[in-house]
Structure 1
Amino acid sequence: MGSGPCSRPIIFTAMSGSIYFKGFNGVRFIAASAVIVHHLEEYKTVFLLGREDLWARPFIYQLGRQGVSLFFVLSGFLITYLLLAEQQRTGRVDIRKFYIRRILRIWPLYFLTVLTGLFVWPHVRLLQTPTEFLGQIGPGVAHFWTQVALYCSIFPNVAVALYGAAPMVSHTWSIGVEEQFYLMWPWLILSPNPKRTLQVVLSVVVLLAGWFLYERFVVRAVYSSDLNRDSLFGFLAYFLAQFRIGCMAIGGAGAWLLFRRHPVLPILFRRDVQLGVYALLGLALIFSLKPTGFNYEFYALFFCFAILNLAGNPHSLLKLDNPLTRFMGDISYGLYMYHPLVLTLLLNLFIRTWPTSLVANGQVNSALTAALYTTTFGLTTLLAWLSYRFFEQPFLRLKDRFAVVASSRRAPVH
């Protein structure tokens, strides 16, 4: 990998062909934790019939949304870097193996979550949700089989945009966005004229953003997140708000900068630049700055900066590599997929056990909130580890057989 300032944080073994970025598991853990906290506060509001606690604060409200954006940026960065490395190493990219690897990593846990969420959990009493807030799912619900078709393909985000949230499964919308990204991104990377391809993609993004801003400020068709999805604009606006391909593309651009050892990197790696960027990010998060039309892309630029420093800067101010973050990062997919199940179960148990103690003076009991946080993270971690150890790992070992340039502490299996 060379001896320049961008190489030391990367563990690269030429014999095994494995690339491992220190600290990336820490990023996964932070992103998953942000989503869990976001949903925990949302579910408290939902299950306690609208009594708002921390959910009313913009920082918490935005926390999970930005956690998902962080996942997207990291995914775009890592996938792009691996594709570039494979092309450099072998002179080509094996698209078939790329898709097989993605399928083996994503589909087993995804379909376990979707199929149990659609057909099993709706019939379990302790996994019921207040229908006036989260809706219903099941064979008796309108458009159920259409939703099944969308969730069982790569379009769960379309299902959410058309029919709203569905208990236990609607959080998989982000997996659909990732799959759609994987479907198109290798072809863009390998285009004979990547600059022209990128120009076309950016033009489409700018046109869509411009149209949204025109509708928002001139026509004023969008006043809040409560869009009328029966209208074409309402559906498209909601869909585009979730279709965060731009965040993954920003991550991909960061990977290109690092892979090409771009001259801008020494500037981005300076200590004073890091301090300034992280201070701005902290202020933006604390005050919930939301640039209309570019909210997620705005934060994605900050996240890409942090990931770039973790991946290529030996003097990065962020230090996220330790045994705890490595473990939690390994099981982060399970943390994301299982936490709504754990939250629903625990809140139903809490309500049944302490029905008169949950709320006092309009606020959720602080002791029970602490217990909910502790048990949610504890049980979700246990379930995610069991899933990783006994369900996901066999598929991961099979996935390694199709690795050309692996991204893991495990060496590829040939």
Structure 2
Amino acid sequence: MKYLKGLDTLRALAATIVVVDHIEIIKQNHHISNLIDHPSLIYPDGHLSVILFFVISGFLITYLLLIEENKTGTINLKSFYLRRILRIWPLYYLILFLSYVIFTPDYSLIRILLPLFIAPNISYAICETWDVSPQIWSIGVEEQFYMVWPLIFIIISKSKRIFSYIILLTLLFTLLPFGLKFINLFFVKNTDFGIFISRFFYGTKFNCMGIGVLLGFIYFKRNEIKFPAVLKNRLVIYFLTALPFVLWFFKFHTGHLNDELYAVLFAFSIYQIVHHSKINIDLPITRFLGKISYGIYLFHWIIIILLIQYIPRIDNGYIYNAALYSCVFLLTISVSWISFVTYERFFLNLKKKYEINKS
């Protein structure tokens, strides 16, 4: 598959914002002056970084499945699952191991078992979060999606109503939490169940990945689709491509379906960034950071916690934050790069045996 421009830069942006957001959250947890306690200060929400990751994942996985089906006439499920396992599991389980050994938390059995079985999002939903690296919840969401989506793809990919099916599935999952909350409010009336619904659907955004899936089909069949004339206007394209990032950075938020709104806007931006020849956001540094973004996402929490413990707190907040941010990013990028070219590369080389052009 040819390189899709812009995706590494988008990953780099999302990972960077997650790190900044988590620095501020951890500072708040340690009673250190932070941006969260000063709402007048504007900085982007790290949660939307994960929504961007989800849309990119749904897009890429679907696009790759379509390429494989077009090239071979079928989908090799064994190869698909092995590719995902070899890319995701080695670093995921390394982080589980490292965070447990370094911080030796006193966790219940269920808090340990759920992340071990790739269900950290469910662990989060029942308030049994893997606190020493809580960001792993999103890895569980993606892995669960990867388990199910290829099976659905095989069933519906030949249908003439493929777009309708994807939209229907996305809408059903979007409406599901509202339906469950209604049932709980009027019939079940269980407080714990209500909390579970809110926490589970806050993070488990299969519908946002579904929007990425729809984007994957649209991009693959772009030469067959007649887009409205207004979407071909250069000014409209530039405006809508930039719109989600402007709204994101200024913390625009809706009361309901905020993540879904951003997922749709991100999908339009991704399409134009990948497809439009005059929209080029790649730089050597952003492509580099994008390639190691998985490591950045997984390693940064441990590094922030350790640095906050060992960097002396001084009265001058500017100097302290400059030292903290510099050390966090320097160490996170360095560790992620070393992991990528050594530990991860071993598994990436194994993964190549199951690529489409090897089948």
Normalising by structure 1, we get a TM-score of: 0.78
| Residue 313, structure 1, aligned to residue 276, structure 2 | yes
Structure 1 counterpart of 2:45:
63
Q: How much has 1:326 moved relative to structure 2?
A: 1.9
- 3-state SS of paired residue (2:59): helix
Contact 1:209 1:293 (C-alpha < 8 Å) held by counterparts: no
Q: 1:186 to 1:290 in 2, by over 3 A?
A: same
| Residue 186, structure 1, aligned to residue 150, structure 2 | yes
How many aligned positions are there? Answer: 352
Contact 1:58 1:288 (C-alpha < 8 Å) held by counterparts: no
Matches within 5 A, 1:14-413: 18-47=1-30, 49=31, 51-54=33-36, 56-57=38-39, 63-118=45-100, 120-123=101-104, 137-138=105-106, 141=107, 144-192=108-156, 193=159, 194=162, 197-198=165-166, 200-211=168-179, 231-261=192-222, 262-264=225-227, 267-278=230-241, 280-316=243-279, 319-350=280-311, 353-354=312-313, 357-358=314-315, 365-404=317-356
Q: How much has 1:215 moved relative to structure 2?
A: 8.6
- 3-state SS of paired residue (2:3): strand
Contact 2:5 2:274 (C-alpha < 8 Å) held by counterparts: yes
C-alpha RMSD of matched pairs (Å)? 2.7
The one-letter code of the counterpart of 2:102 is W
Q: Distance in 2 between matches of 1:349 and 1:265?
A: 57
Q: Distance in 1 between matches of 2:200 and 2:75?
A: 31
The one-letter code of the counterpart of 1:403 is E
The one-letter code of the counterpart of 1:277 is L
Structure 2 counterpart of 1:222:
none
Greater CA drift, 327-336 or 306-315: 306-315
Q: How much has 1:396 moved relative to structure 2?
A: 0.2
Q: 1:393 to 1:270 in 2, by over 3 A?
A: farther
Q: 1:115 to 1:269 in 2, by over 3 A?
A: farther
Greater CA drift, 158-167 or 97-106: 158-167
Task: Describe the superposition over 1:73-132 as per-residue Cα deviations: whole angstroms up to 9, x where unpaired.
Answer: 1111111100001100110111110000000000000000112223x0124xxxxxxxxx
Q: How much has 1:277 moved relative to structure 2?
A: 1.6
Q: 1:266 to 1:75 in 2, by over 3 A?
A: farther
- 3-state SS of paired residue (1:163): coil
Q: How much has 1:203 moved relative to structure 2?
A: 4.7
Task: Describe the superposition over 1:268-290 as per-residue Cα deviations: whole angstroms up to 9, x where unpaired.
Answer: 45321123224543553244232
Contact 2:115 2:130 (C-alpha < 8 Å) held by counterparts: no
Contact 2:28 2:34 (C-alpha < 8 Å) held by counterparts: yes
The one-letter code of the counterpart of 2:352 is D
- 3-state SS of paired residue (1:401): helix
- 3-state SS of paired residue (2:355): coil
Q: Distance in 2 between matches of 1:34 and 1:336?
A: 10
The one-letter code of the counterpart of 1:300 is A
Greater CA drift, 372-381 or 98-107: 372-381
Q: How much has 1:248 moved relative to structure 2?
A: 1.0
The one-letter code of the counterpart of 1:289 is F
- 3-state SS of paired residue (1:19): coil
- 3-state SS of paired residue (2:202): helix
Task: Describe the superposition over 1:368-390 as per-residue Cα deviations: whole angstroms up to 9, x where unpaired.
Answer: 11121111111100000111111
Structure 2 counterpart of 1:128:
none
Give unmatched runs, 5+ long, in structure 1: 1-17, 124-136, 220-228, 406-411
The one-letter code of the counterpart of 2:2 is I
Q: How much has 1:293 moved relative to structure 2?
A: 3.1
Q: How much has 1:185 moved relative to structure 2?
A: 1.0
Contact 1:147 1:159 (C-alpha < 8 Å) held by counterparts: yes
The one-letter code of the counterpart of 1:180 is Q
Q: Distance in 1 between matches of 2:299 and 2:174?
A: 36
Q: Distance in 2 between matches of 1:213 and 1:236?
A: 7
Q: Percent identity?
A: 33
Q: 1:160 to 1:87 in 2, by over 3 A?
A: same
